[in-house]
Amino acid sequence: MHFPSRRLGVTAVAVALTMITAGCSIGSDSAGGGGKKLTFTSYGSGYQEAQAKAWLTPWAKAEGVTAVQDQPTDYAKIKTMVESKRVSWDVVDTEPFFPVGACGKYAEKLDFDKIDKSKFPEGTVSDCAVPDAMYSLALVYDPKKYPDAKPTSVADFFDTKKFPGKRLAPGFATGGAIEAALVGDGVTPDKLYPLDYDRAFKKLDTLGDNLSFWDTSAQSQQALESKQADMALVWSGRAYMAAKNGSVYEPVWQDNMLAYAVLMVPKGAPNKDRAMDFIAYATSAEPQAAFAEDQPYAAVNSDAEPKLDSLAESWNTARPDIQDKGFYQNVDWWAKNQDQATERWTDWATG
The closest of 314, 330, 309, 298 to 252, measured between CA atoms, is: 314
Name the maximum alpha-carbon separation found in the chain. Answer: 71
DSSP states along 334-346 = HHHHHHHHHHHHH
pTM of the model: 0.82
CA 122, distance to chain mean position in Å, is: 17
3-class DSSP assignment, residue 50: helix
Give the pairing of strands 130-141 and 231-235.
antiparallel
Domains 2-134+260-324 and 137-256 share a fold: yes
CA distances from 76 to 83, 89, 111, 128 (A): 11, 13, 25, 18
3-class DSSP assignment, residue 78: helix
What pLDDT does residue 2 have?
A: 32
Residue 261 β-bridge partners: 133
Distance from C-alpha of 72 to C-alpha of 8, rounded to nearest angstrom: 12
3-class DSSP assignment, residue 327: strand
List the chain domain ranges. Answer: 2-134+260-324, 137-256
Indicate the CATH number of 137-256 among 2.30.30.60, 3.40.190.10, 3.90.1150.10, 3.30.70.100: 3.40.190.10
* Residue 79 CB burial class (10 angstroms; 0-12, 13-18, ≥19): middle
Q: Which residues of the chain have pLDDT under 70?
A: 1-34
What pLDDT does residue 27 have?
A: 34
| Three-state DSSP string of 101-131 | HCECCCECCCCCCCCCHHHCCCCCCECCEEE
What pLDDT does residue 1 have?
A: 28
Q: Cα torsion at 29, 35, 38, 43 (round to 10°)?
A: -120
Distance from C-alpha of 158 to C-alpha of 174, rounded to nearest angstrom: 19
Name the strand (E) or helix (H) holding 139.
strand 130-141
User: How would you label 298-331 residue by residue, b for 16+ Cβ within 10 Å and e otherwise?
Assistant: bbbbeebebebeeebeebbbbeeebbebbbbbbb
Contacting residues for 1 by C-beta, under 8 A, at least 6 apart: 72, 73, 74, 75, 76
Distance from C-alpha of 207 to C-alpha of 166, rounded to nearest angstrom: 9
- H helices present in the chain, as ranges: 2-8, 45-51, 57-63, 75-84, 97-101, 177-184, 197-205, 217-225, 236-244, 272-282, 285-294, 310-314, 320-324, 331-350
Q: pLDDT per residue over 12-70, tens digit each?
A: 333 333 333 333 333 334 333 347 999 999 988 888 999 999 999 999 999 999 999 99
What pLDDT does residue 296 have?
A: 86
Which backbone phi and psi does 82 adopt, to 5 degrees?
-65, -45
Distance from C-alpha of 74 to C-alpha of 69, rounded to nearest angstrom: 14
Which backbone phi and psi does 212 adopt, to 5 degrees?
-135, 170
Topology of the domain comprising 2-134+260-324: D-Maltodextrin-Binding Protein; domain 2 (3.40.190)
Q: pLDDT per residue over 181-222, tens digit each?
A: 999 999 999 999 999 999 999 999 999 999 999 998 889 999
Contacting residues for 61 by C-beta, under 8 A, at least 6 apart: 22, 23
What pLDDT does residue 273 have?
A: 98
